[in-house]
Amino acid sequence: MAHTYLLFDFGTDEEKALLARHKLENWKQAFRLDKKLLYKLERDEDEAKAAAEEPAPKAAEAPKADKSKSKAKAKAKSSKSKSDDDEKAPASNAKVNLLVRLYFSGHEKLTEQRMLDRIPSEEPFKDASPQVVRQGEPKFDDLVKQFESLE
């Protein structure tokens, strides 16, 4: 059985990446492709780490409220959680890649070819500069390691 990898680069468009993931999940259920179609999202670690480190110092700088001001403290907590959510939004500006692994047996060549034709031609995948990497190509070993390293 041969593996085929599809690599999609969504740039910083998290919404399209999630749309693509949902579409893959729907196909997986509709066509019963449980272990034949696997996908993983990869976010750029450098930008994500930088965004994750920023909120931590701000939380440490927060002033402590007195017990008599419990209402003010509750309001402060709710405003902090809102500001934390706003600060987490830049983390979605990280570069997003989607790796899709197709794993069809030898007698399923027609199904594999249909999926290879269909996935890159659908809407959320079109703009993501799709790349098809088959077993035996130079970039294949690197993609296998990259796919296995993702959660």
pLDDT digits (tens, 9 = 90+) for 9-62: 999 999 999 999 999 999 999 999 999 999 999 988 665 555 555 554 444 444
Q: How confident is the model at residue 86 (pLDDT cuts 50, 70, 90)?
A: very low
The token pair at 76 is 């402060």
How far is C-alpha 139 from the geometric centre of its chain's CA atoms?
21
Question: How would you classify the pairing of strands 96-104 and 131-134?
Answer: unpaired
The predicted model scores a pTM of 0.68
**14 HSE (CA, 13 A, CB side):** 10
CB 8 within 8 A of CB 20: yes
Answer yes or no: do 40 and 99 share one domain. Answer: yes
Give yes or no for a contact between 109 and 11, defined as CB atoms under 8 angstroms apart.
no
- 109 within domain boundaries: yes
**CATH assignment at residue 8:** 3.30.70.2190
